[in-house]
Structure formats: C-alpha cells, structure tokens
A = this chain, B = another copy of it.
Amino acid sequence: MIYNKEPLGWIVEEGSFDPRRTGKCESIFAQGNGYMNIRCALEESYVGERRAAFITGTFNKAMPDEVTELPNLPDVTELKLLVNGERFAMDRGELKNYSRALNLKTGEAVRELEWTGANGAALRFSFRRFVSLDNDHLAAFAMDVTPVNGPVDLVLESGISTRTNNSGSQHCTEGEKRLVDGSILRLSTRTSQSDIPVAVHCAHKFQPAPATSLPVMERRRFVNRYTFRLEKGETLHMEKLACYHTGRDEGFTTYGQPAGTLNADQVCAAGDLCMEKALQSSYEDLLAASARRWEAYWNEQDVEIESEDSFDQLGMRFALYHLNIMIKRDDSRVGIGAKGMTGEGYKGHSFWDTEMFLMPHYLFTDPAAARTLMEYRWRSLPGAFKKAEENGYQGAMFPWESAWLDDGEVTPLFGGADVVTGKSIPILTGMIEHHISADVSWGVWLYYMATKDDAYMEKCGCEILVETARFWASRLEWKEEAGRYEICNVIGPDEYKEHVSNNAFTNYLVAENMDKACLVIGEMKEKWPAAWKHLSAKYDLEALVKELQDKRAKLFLPQPNEEGIVPQNDQYLGLEKIDLSKYKSQTGVSSIYEDYSPVQMNKLMVSKQADTVMLLRVMPDLFDAETRRKNFLFYESRTLHDSSLSHGQHCVMAAWLGLTDMALDMYRHAITIDLGPNMTSSDEGIHSASMGNVWQCAACGFAGLQWHEEGLSLQNSLPSAWKRLSFHAHWRGANLKITLTPGELKVENVSGPKVDLILNGKKVQAAQGETVTA
C-alpha cells in the first residue's frame, strides 16, 4: 500500500516491498523535469521491471507496422550488486526495515532497507536519487552500503544500457561507446527512423575508492565493474551522475522556426561539458539546487487542503508534482503525453486530455505554460490539414493522437482481443472520434478568455478557430428528411459507443466552435489584423461566415426528452439495460470487455466515462439546474468510470450540484487512480489527465471556479470533511490567492491589474493588494 508519511501531505511512501507493485511504483515515483522523466525502477533488477527514460519530443517509429512513439532511451538506473558473489535483490534473502518514499517537496526518492543474503551477509542500504529541476539534462543517484555482521566483498556494475526498449520495440541504434577522460562513460546513439542523435553520459564517485575498476563493453551495454572489500561497519558511499542530451535540444525558436538540429558531435560535446561541470558538485549540492526550484514551485502552485483525512492533501500534491514534471513549459513543439513521460502507455501521444483536463490547470496557475500548449496545437496544424485532406474534408481535422508537429494522426490501428471474433480490435478513435477538433477550439477560446492574449489570437487562435470551423462545415451531413445537419458515425467521449450519431457532446461543441469562428472573423480585421490578412488572403471570409452561420443554424442539437434526459446520442436511450453492479465494483479496468465484444458493447446502455456529463461541465449554462441534476444522476448510474478521465469531472459536476459528499467521494476516487491499491493500473505510466482532474476537483469543483466573459466566478462548496482549501489562480494578468474555509470565501489580488470576480454569485472587483470575501 501507498502511505502518507510524516511530514503528512508531502511524502508518498511504499511501506513494505511487494514485487507485484513493481510497475506501479516505477510510474508513481517517476522523477523528471518536463524535458525528461526517468521511471523509478529499482537499482537491482526484478522480473517485470520496466526501466525507462523518456525525453520530450524524441518521437520515433520503430517498425513499419507501428506508429511513432516516445522511445525508451538508454538506461542509467541499473546497478548490479554482488555481495560475496550473491546477487542483491529484495525478493530473496531476508528484508527488514524497508521504506521507499518520494518527497514531493524536494523531488528526491529515498529507499532504506536492511538485507541479509542467503550466504548470511547482512547489509544496510540507502539509495537516493533525483532528476534535476535545476538542470534539465541531469539525474543523480547516491548509495550507502554498510556491512553489519562482518566484512564483505562487493562487486558493482553500473553504467549505460541501450537494451531498454518499448515492450520489445527498439528505437535506438547500438551506438558508440567511449570512456571519456578515463572515467566518464559515454554512449552516443540515434533514433532509428527520426534519426535524432542522443548522448548519454554517466560517471561515478566512491568513498572509499574501489579496489579495482574495469570498463566492460558488451552489446548495447557499457558499464564499469568495481570491486570493494568492506569491513564490518564500514560504509561505502557512491554517487552516480548521469546526463542526457539530444539533437532536438536546442536551436528551437518560437513560431515555426526549424527545430533543434544539433549533430551527434555537438550532442556529445554538450554532454561532456555538462558532466564535467556537474562532477564538480556533490550529490547534496546538486540536490539542493534542484530542491530550491521545487520550493519556488510549491510557493506559487501549492494547493493546500486541511482535511480530516490528510490523504486528500497528499493526493493533491502528488497530482501537482506530476503536473510539474510532465510539461516542458517553454517548448511548443511538444504536447503532454497521456501518461506524461512516466511510462510507455499511449506512446507519449497527446489527446483531448490537453484542452479538457490539463489546460485549465496550467491556464490558471501558469498562463505561459498554457500558451505553450495552445501554440503546440497551432504548430500542429499541418498535420490537421493533412488529416482533413486524407479524409476528404476541408480545414483542420486535428489528430485524435498527436506526436511530433508534422506527424498528423498517430493513433495505432489495433488494440486488444475481440473475445468473439478472435481478432485484434480495430482502434477507431483515430478515424471517427472527431470531437477533438472542437475540443481544441474550446481550449483556444478558454485560453483567450482567461488571458486576453491578443498576440496569441492574432498569430494562432484565429487560424485554429477558422480552420476547425471550416472542417466542421465540410463534415456536417445534410439530412433532407429532417431538414437539418447531423453528425453521424462518430465516437463521443464515451468510447464504449462506436459509430453513433449526433453525440450531444460533439454536436454542441461543434456549434460552439462555429459560433466562435464567426465571432472572431467579425472582429479579426480590427483586433487581430495579421490574422485577418493571413486568412482573408486564403478565403472569402464574408462568404465563409455566411456558410458557417447557415450550417450552424441548421445543426441538430439534441434536446432533453420528456424525462429531462439529453440523449447522449441517437441510439443510447434505446439500448439494452443490463445489471452493471459487477463492473461498477471492478478493481481493475475494462473488465466488461472480458464478457462482451465491442460489437455487443455497442448495444448495451453502459458508458465508459463522462460524456453528456462532460457537456454539462464544459458548457455549464446550456441547461437549467434541474436538467443538469437529472442528467448527471442518470448518466452516472450507467457509467463504469472505466476511464481515468471520469471521476474528476463527476466530482466537479457533483460539487456544482451541491452534492458535496458525492463530490468528495469522486475526488477520493480520482486521487487513488494512481495512488490506490490497484497494483497494475499504473504499470504503463501515471494518468496525466487525472492529475489535471484532481486540480479541477478542488479549484473548479469545491471552489467553484468558472470562467465567464464578465469575470472569474468562485463558489464555496467545501465538503464538510475539509476545513480549509487555498490556492493561487491567475486571471487576466492578476495572481489571485483564494482561500476557502467553512462559510468563507476569500480572494486576495496578490499582483496584477484590478479584476472582475463573481463570488458565490455576487459581482465584486479586486485591485492589487486587495482582499475580498464572501
């Protein structure tokens, strides 16, 4: 189990060793800095381990029948340790006083243990490691070993391995190995198809010095083999530094300039220099420099929760920790992967998660980072144009899964087994989950509303809104008999349902997309003249507005039926109801697929995740309160929450509906998606969108944060178990400190211009230094 260790709310601890948690702990304890992440695989090896290091943007296609993905780069974490000839591993011999903990405050992971091998030698171990927030390229490891019942002979092998791969797919060439300056191990490799040079360096320091030291070069493996003779009570202290550099590191400038194009020699030289410099500092000094960056982060971004259950706080900080290491805040060539860079799940690809689940967090805590994400979408337009063209449409059809800027659609074609046909299940999302294009536009408008960043609108936002609207105009299907436009054969947010018609979420967001496109076309010439120049050179904008308005007016928007239920799609309300209790109480994921094929699932009234509920959440003013409530309760009862995207959004909606107990229950589900008892659900990496959701639960749910043209609104919906909730939110240039206690909602304008607020439904203003309460 995962525990909340003292100081409560800051330390995620695995209190006992269980090899079944190998993958989970590698993911949740992963460390990084937005440039790179290293999974927290233990130094010694275990069956089922998945050592991995990922660097943002290094996408590569390993094989002709695969899609591009983030490669698992060479490993530096492995450390082979022979104690009197016996391999050290905690699942053999006797283990005592084990603790493994990630300190969210400093970013350091520490493992302590005592171990007695089969040959009787007992040792005390301490392992520490971090990936630097102060130097993107740097990772550091420390180990202390002390024999406690007699002298021991130690053999230690440590270095770099290119044997790592993505579930068997290899992305890196074997590369060139070189011992630099007699002590630094360097491995220079390339990705096989995208041809990105990658240099990995590592070096070791020991106290006392090893008796012998020997470089060993094997296939795809370059280590030093050290031997030691340690007396009883004598501590061997090791420090290992490693750094990663790639050809995509530098030469990057905003807005469409050529991406970083360092060659292999330059990459190696950058690593040589980095390592040389780092070796002048101790592990402690390097850690302190990184921890100072973490301290600054927490000062700005902490969300404080005083709850009866301190795990509520831990879950929030855990989310914030991962939200900080998953994003490269200053590089708009890259998005955020569905698993961040903590595992190979979803191949490092970006989904609608960005706009719907992650962007709100960044937007209200670090608007510049949100801009990076929304620039990434703009820079991905070539791929969206390509996808539209390939599918016979116009404008920008964003890929369901995005990787490098010009990759276009990268969704794999096949998934798990169809229990009925015995074939791989085709993955249709890349083909027919079209709402992504409207989601991106929704994000663009949200970004603009919260920042009034006209420069972004002029350069990027207008073009996205217009091009996605053009896509929709070409995508809509005229139904003569009904006298309306429809959108058929799609997948909505609920991925259990394929080939549906008029998914409410999709249709409403498409309407919004077209509305906003018309709005900006109307204002563009004055407000964003460069955009107007660019787009009017390509299109007859007047005619385009007319077409959009006409089609928008005739677009079918599903309305509540006589029971007040908005049909999720044309088919949903007529589907067969089955008893869902078996699946509602599932401990794993997707257990329903063990009983039903996708074709069968399509015929059952069961949802994977928030769909119409998502619509209610992202367009909160669409229906009246009673309709929202009815639909929320109806759809929740048919939903298995078989997606990590689901609980958090239900929490927000429940809080908005005043169902604060239910909301807290949903929150606690959301924070246990990765931290909970399920031993395998995080094997492929943590759930990025869920981290954004956890922030949304508190900020948008319990604090009721909503965005309106007329201002930022907040609503105190603190659950009874919580005594205090406080966090910072940025709004139109102001940095607001928001504090909720039972019965009180307080907003301090820490810095920035005077802003309009709506507190518990009441309009107020707050100038810099001013505190308003409700």
Contacts and interface: CB of A to CB of B under 8 A. Distances in A.
Interface of A: 19-20, 45-48, 62-66, 87, 89, 91-92, 161-170, 173-180, 182, 192, 214-222, 415-417, 419, 422-425, 594
A594 B45 contact: no
Given A45-B47, A47-B45, A176-B424, A220 B419 contact: no
Contact of A220 (B161, B169, B594): B169
Contacts of A62: 170
Given A89-B47, A168-B165, A65 B175 contact: yes
A167 B163 contact: yes
Given A66-B174, A178-B424, A217-B424, 10 more contacts: A45-B47, A45-B48, A46-B47, A92-B92, A167-B221, A168-B170, A168-B174, A215-B417, A217-B425, A218-B416
Contact of A594 (B91, B167, B180, B214): B214
Contacts of A219: 166-169
Given A89-B47, A170-B165, A220-B169, A419 B214 contact: yes
Nearest to A66: B174
B63 A180 contact: no
A161 B165 CA distance: 14
8 contacts: A47-B87, A167-B218, A168-B219, A168-B220, A177-B423, A179-B422, A215-B417, A222-B417
B216 A179 contact: no
Contacts of A594: 214
Nearest to A168: B163
Contacts of A173: 63-66
A147 B1 CA distance: 30
Contacts of A19: 87
Contacts of A176: 424
Nearest to A415: B217
Nearest to A63: B173
A594 B212 CA distance: 10
Contact of A63 (B46, B66, B169, B174): B174
A221 to B, nearest CB: 8
A658 to B, nearest CB: 42
Contacts of A169: 170, 174, 219-220
Contacts of A89: 47
Contacts of A423: 177-179
A238 B382 CA distance: 55
A239 to B, nearest CB: 21
A217 B417 contact: yes
A166 B91 CA distance: 27
Contacts of A87: 19-20, 47
Contacts of A175: 65
B165 A422 contact: no
A198 to B, nearest CB: 13
A19, A48, A161, A169: which has the most chain B beta carbons within 10 Å? A169
B165 A165 contact: yes
Contact of A177 (B164, B165, B168, B417): B417
Contacts of A222: 417
Nearest to A425: B217
Nearest to A423: B178
B422 A180 contact: yes
Given A89-B47, A180-B422, A422-B180, A170 B216 contact: no
A63 B424 contact: no
Nearest to A161: B168
Nearest to A222: B417
A453 B423 CA distance: 54
A169 B221 CA distance: 12
A162 B170 contact: no
A47 B417 CA distance: 29
A167 B417 contact: no
B164 A168 contact: yes
Given A47-B47, A422-B178, A192 B417 contact: no
Contacts of A92: 91-92
Contacts of A177: 417, 423-424
A331 B594 CA distance: 46
A176 B423 CA distance: 9
Contacts of A422: 178-180, 182, 215
Contacts of A45: 47-48
Contacts of A63: 170, 173-174, 192
A213 to B, nearest CB: 10
A179 B417 contact: yes
B419 A215 contact: yes
A447 to B, nearest CB: 35
Nearest to A224: B417
Nearest to A186: B422
A176 B414 CA distance: 9
A62 B219 CA distance: 13
Contacts of A415: 217
Nearest to A189: B65
A490 B176 CA distance: 26
A416 to B, nearest CB: 5
B220 A167 contact: yes
A216 B163 CA distance: 26
Contacts of A216: 416-417
Contacts of A167: 163, 218-221
Nearest to A65: B173
Contacts of A165: 165, 168, 170
**Among A20, A87, A217: residue with most chain B CB under 10 A:** A217
A756 to B, nearest CB: 50
Contacts of A174: 63, 65-66, 168-169
A422 B187 CA distance: 12
Contacts of A424: 176-178, 217
A53 to B, nearest CB: 14
A20 B422 CA distance: 40
Nearest to A167: B219
